[in-house]
């Protein structure tokens, strides 16, 4: 029978024993503890009494559910007990300083896709871990290449942890019998040849020429420029789309569009695009804004948005290539501005 190491044993195992890695492991384990609790609450749904709107909005304008606030509290409490100098959470306007002497900074989306909870569709927690720089808060405004680990918990038919650590991506499944995460897939690799795309097609009329061209080519199928038939998927939970792509390949796009407030896309750089990009790259995939590699971009503000195209490396390259050849319908502000340092530098 195959031996499946528990998360703790697996994280202890590798050969490097630097203090930074030990701190990173402590943060991952703290988040895993909170995720186990959150997954129980989510699985109980209405029985846990935590469905419905809280009446508030988060700093980026999304309406907060009660469960968003519960998830944020659970995750930030866990981080308070870990070696974390500061945290940026989707649910809180400004970075929060925890232990200024600790060695790591964490950005977190406590409950991604939470609007899907009442539809019983997978939702998740996304996190990004980076070593603290000389100044605590400006650590968050370094490019995504500064991350030393990232991951996401997915609360779906199974609760899983996708973890990018030590330049590799592994997957752990929560064993409901023991209440522990156990290793279920090592060294995930994004399949490269899946003709499957994910995009919120209801926004087509707002897209730039580049995105329209790419999707129109996909829709043209075997007779079009791409020479093959494509399938489409759209879940509306970034974590679930990322997991599907890790398993089956394909490409996900949340581009900038012409709607008010969407000129830099929908997803947030620090706690959505950066960590998902690290996962994709370490699993052999890619992530781009259409003009720049996501990991080379720096946020200017904590809740900075960014266009995100991620998945199989070849498909992401195809979308990038179209961006180079087609005139934009409108000027989105992605690459040039982001390539600079953040607001706080």
The option from Mn ion, ligand F6P, none interacting with 253 (CB < 5 to 8 A, set by class) reads: none
Per DSSP, helices labelled H in the chain are 7-12, 19-44, 66-80, 209-220, 238-248, 274-282, 313-325, 335-338
Least distance in Å: CB of 109 to ligand F6P?
A: 6
Shortest Å, Cβ 185 to Mn ion: 24
Alpha-carbon distance of 251 to 197, in angstroms, equals: 5
Q: Measure Cα distances from 81 to 23, 34, 84, 157 in Å.
A: 12, 11, 8, 29
Choose the one of Mn ion, ligand F6P, none that binds residue 209, judging by a C-beta under 5 to 8 angstroms depending on kind.
Answer: none
Question: Is residue 237 near ligand F6P by the rule CB under 6 A?
Answer: yes
- Alpha carbons 344 and 193: distance in angstroms, whole number: 41
Size of the site for Mn ion (CB under 5 A): 2
The length of the chain in residues reads: 345
112 is in an annotated binding site: yes
Six-digit token string for 77: 């409490």
Does 90 appear as a known binding residue? yes
Binding mask 195-234 for Mn ion (x = CB under 5 A): ----------------------------------------
Query: Quick check: 200 binds ligand F6P (CB under 6 A)?
Result: yes
The C-alpha R_g of the chain, in whole angstroms, comes to 19
Tokens, residue 88: 């940026």
Residue 273 is given by DSSP the state I
> Cα(287)–Cα(133) distance, rounded to whole angstroms?
25
Would you say 36 or 267 has its CB closer to ligand F6P? 267
Please tell me the distance from the alpha carbon of residue 7 to that of residue 179, in angstroms, as a whole number: 11
Q: Which is nearer to ligand F6P, 145 or 200 (CB)?
A: 200
Give whichever of 183 and 253 is closer to ligand F6P, judged by the CB atom: 253
Residues contacting 288, CB < 8 A, separation 6+: 294, 309, 310, 316, 319, 320
Question: Of 110-139, which residues contact ligand F6P (CB under 6 A)?
Answer: 112-113
> Minimum Å distance from CB 308 to Mn ion?
11
Query: Are the C-beta atoms of 191 and 249 separated by less than 8 Å?
Result: yes
Using CB under 6 A as the binding rule, the residues of this chain from 94 to 113 that contact ligand F6P are 112-113
Does 200 show up as a binding residue in the annotation?
yes
CB nearer to ligand F6P: give 214 or 243.
243
Query: What is the CA angle 317-320-322, rounded to 5?
Result: 115
Q: Which is closer to ligand F6P, CB of 123 or CB of 183?
A: 123
- Is residue 109 a contact residue for Mn ion (CB under 5 A)? yes
Please report, as residue ranges, which positions from 217 to 236 form the binding site for ligand F6P (by CB under 6 A): 236
Q: Binding-site residue total for ligand F6P (CB under 6 A)?
A: 9
Task: Tell me if 182 sits within 8 A of 173, measured CB to CB.
Answer: yes
Bridge pairing between strands 180-185 and 168-175 = antiparallel
Two tokens at 318? 């195809």
Site string for ligand F6P, 255-294 (x = CB under 6 A): -----------xx---------------------------
- CB-wise, 113 or 307, nearer to ligand F6P? 113
| Binding footprint of Mn ion on the chain (CB under 5 A) | 109, 112
| Binding footprint of ligand F6P on the chain (CB under 6 A) | 112-113, 200, 236-238, 254, 266-267
Binding residues: 90, 109, 111-112, 200, 272
């Amino acid at each position: 029978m195959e031996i499946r190491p528990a998360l703790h044993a697996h994280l202890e195992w590798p050969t490097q024993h630097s203090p930074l890695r030990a701190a990173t492991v402590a943060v991952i384990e703290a988040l895993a503890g909170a995720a186990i609790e959150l997954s129980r609450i989510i699985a109980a749904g209405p029985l846990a009494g935590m469905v419905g709107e809280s009446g508030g909005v988060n700093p980026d304008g999304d309406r907060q559910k009660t469960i968003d606030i519960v998830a944020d509290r659970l995750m930030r409490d866990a981080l308070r007990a870990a070696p974390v100098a500061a945290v940026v959470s989707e649910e809180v306007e400004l970075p929060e300083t925890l232990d200024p002497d600790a060695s790591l900074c964490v950005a977190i989306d406590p409950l991604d896709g939470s609007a899907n909870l009442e539809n019983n569709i997978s939702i998740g927690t996304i996190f990004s871990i980076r070593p603290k720089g000389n100044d605590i808060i400006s650590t968050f405004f370094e490019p995504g290449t500064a991350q030393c680990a990232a991951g996401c918990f997915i609360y779906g038919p199974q609760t899983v942890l996708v973890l990018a650590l030590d330049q590799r991506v592994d997957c752990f499944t929560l064993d409901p019998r023991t209440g522990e995460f156990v290793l279920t897939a090592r060294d995930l690799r994004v399949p490269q040849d899946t003709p499957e795309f994910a995009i919120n097609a209801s926004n087509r009329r707002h897209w730039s020429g580049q995105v329209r061209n790419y999707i129109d080519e996909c829709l043209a199928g075997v007779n079009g420029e791409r020479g093959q038939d494509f399938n489409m998927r759209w879940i509306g939970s970034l974590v679930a789309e990322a997991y599907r792509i890790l398993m089956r390949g394909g490409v996900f796009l949340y581009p900038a569009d012409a709607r008010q407030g969407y000129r830099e896309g929908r997803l947030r750089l620090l706690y959505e695009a950066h960590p998902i990009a690290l996962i994709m790259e370490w699993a052999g995939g890619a992530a781009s804004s259409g003009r720049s590699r996501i990991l080379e971009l720096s946020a200017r503000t904590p809740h900075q948005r960014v266009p995100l195209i991620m998945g199989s490396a070849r498909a992401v390259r195809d979308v990038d290539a179209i961006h180079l050849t087609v005139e934009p319908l409108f000027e989105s502000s992605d690459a040039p501005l982001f390539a600079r340092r953040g607001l706080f530098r």
